[in-house]
């Protein structure tokens, strides 16, 4: 782990040197987990600010926390072994962490960079995101393990659904299995029947699901995220739903085929836009998020095919990136899994041997489970 942290500190310091900045403060859960090799501290899971901060200068790496968190961090986080010194501030002083960052950097807050924390003068969130897009080998292994655990939790919950069971009961099984695996469901959507056909996000509402079930999850562990969607049905699947699925899979197949080293994210999105039209749904990409690179956020960035002025549009895809595209078609069609980009192609990390697969342009993809079989 120290080797991983040292490599990331070198990346940050190289960027500081090129930028001419005195220091950067990492204040959000994703960047903090990335720099520390997976340390997460969710106290209030709704808080976008981490209870642990890192301040990196050309010569120092300092961890900052309140006096409340220091005893646990000293006993369990092994920050010293990772190369960080730990300092604490009063919990009741809302500005104390920012002042401590200034003291560490020897510069005023207006001159310091951060991951979009409003107290600091330089917003370097995009630059920090770019540094972490290419996952290190150890991170790829952790993502692979998280993908398997997430798929198993999701597929267990969906495969044990019985017609008439409430969407909330299916959802609770997903949560239980993920929490047992020390993973946090940061996004969870479970719905059924006509609500899946009408809404892209049929959030669980305590309604019985009788014929058609969708479960979507983004799970996080050690700061890393994976995304997957699974469906099941009881009885004959309506022709309209089947057609929507086939269209979504065609779009996804096109996007996955373009997601190769050397291509850009903009090229993938433009190909997806064309694929919607070829499938008979021109402009349907506007109806839902299309996904993108995944890692220390649900999506590290998410742009549309028309946003050619975004710096991310020309971002090259490289080995070590992870992607989770999310094409969907009105009427219940959707396809989503998480893939690692490797030198010789894509590898799905959320695919198991226990789920029905369909071949789409020669690639195995997650099918729809018929619970009557």
Span 288-331, pLDDT tens digits: 999 999 999 999 999 999 999 999 999 999 999 999 999 999 99
pLDDT digits (tens, 9 = 90+) for 99-130: 999 999 999 999 999 999 999 999 999 999 99
pTM for the model stands at 0.97
> What is the structure's pLDDT at 322?
98
> What is the structure's pLDDT at 301?
98
> What is the structure's pLDDT at 366?
95
Output the 3-class SS for 79-132: CCCCCCEEEEECCCCCCHHHHHHHHHHCCCHHHCEECCCCCCCEECHHHHHHHH
> What are the helix and strand counts (H, E) for the chain?
10, 20
In the chain, what are the domains? 2-132 (3.40.350.10), 137-370 (3.90.230.10)
What parts of the chain have a pLDDT lower than 70?
373
Mean pLDDT estimate for the chain: 97
Cα–Cα distance for residue pair 8/129, rounded to 1 Å: 12
Is the alpha carbon torsion for 199, 189, 366, 233 positive or negative? negative
> What is the structure's pLDDT at 372?
82
How far CA 39 is from CA of 53, 54, 107, 211, 328, in Å, comes to: 11, 12, 27, 41, 34
């Amino acid at each position: 782990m120290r080797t991983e942290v040292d490599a990331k500190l070198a990346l940050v310091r190289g960027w500081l040197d090129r930028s001419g900045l005195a220091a950067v403060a990492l204040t959000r859960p994703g960047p903090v987990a990335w720099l520390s090799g997976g340390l997460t501290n969710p106290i209030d899971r709704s808080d976008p600010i981490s209870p642990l901060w890192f301040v990196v200068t050309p010569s120092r790496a300092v961890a900052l926390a309140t006096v409340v968190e220091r005893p646990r961090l000293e006993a369990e986080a092994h920050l010293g072994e990772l190369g960080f010194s730990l300092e604490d501030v009063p919990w009741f002083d809302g500005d104390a962490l920012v002042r401590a960052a200034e003291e560490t950097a020897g510069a005023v807050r207006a001159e310091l960079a951060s991951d979009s924390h409003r107290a600091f003068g330089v917003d370097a969130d995009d630059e920090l995101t770019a540094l972490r897009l290419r996952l290190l080998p150890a991170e790829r292994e952790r993502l692979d393990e998280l993908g398997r655990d997430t798929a198993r939790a999701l597929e267990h919950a969906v495969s044990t659904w019985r017609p008439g069971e409430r969407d909330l009961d299916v959802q609770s099984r997903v949560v239980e299995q993920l929490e047992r695996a020390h993973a946090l469901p940061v996004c969870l959507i479970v719905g059924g029947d006509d609500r899946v056909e009408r809404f892209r996000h049929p959030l669980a509402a305590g309604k019985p699901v009788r014929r058609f079930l969708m479960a979507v999850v983004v799970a996080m562990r050690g700061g890393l995220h994976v995304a997957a969607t699974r469906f099941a049905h009881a009885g004959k699947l309506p022709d309209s739903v089947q057609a929507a699925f086939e269209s979504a899979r065609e779009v996804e197949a096109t996007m996955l085929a373009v997601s190769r080293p050397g291509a850009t994210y903009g090229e993938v999105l433009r190909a997806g836009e064309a694929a919607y039209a070829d499938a008979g749904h021109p402009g349907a990409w506007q109806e839902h998020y299309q996904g993108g690179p995944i890692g220390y956020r649900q999506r590290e960035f998410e742009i549309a095919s028309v946003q050619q002025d975004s710096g991310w549009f020309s971002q090259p895809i490289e080995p070590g990136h992870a992607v989770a595209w999310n094409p969907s078609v009105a009427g219940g069609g959707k396809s989503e899994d998480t893939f690692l980009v490797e030198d010789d192609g894509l590898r799905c990390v959320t695919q198991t041997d226990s789920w029905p697969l369909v071949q789409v342009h020669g690639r195995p993809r997650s099918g729809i489970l018929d619970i009557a079989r």
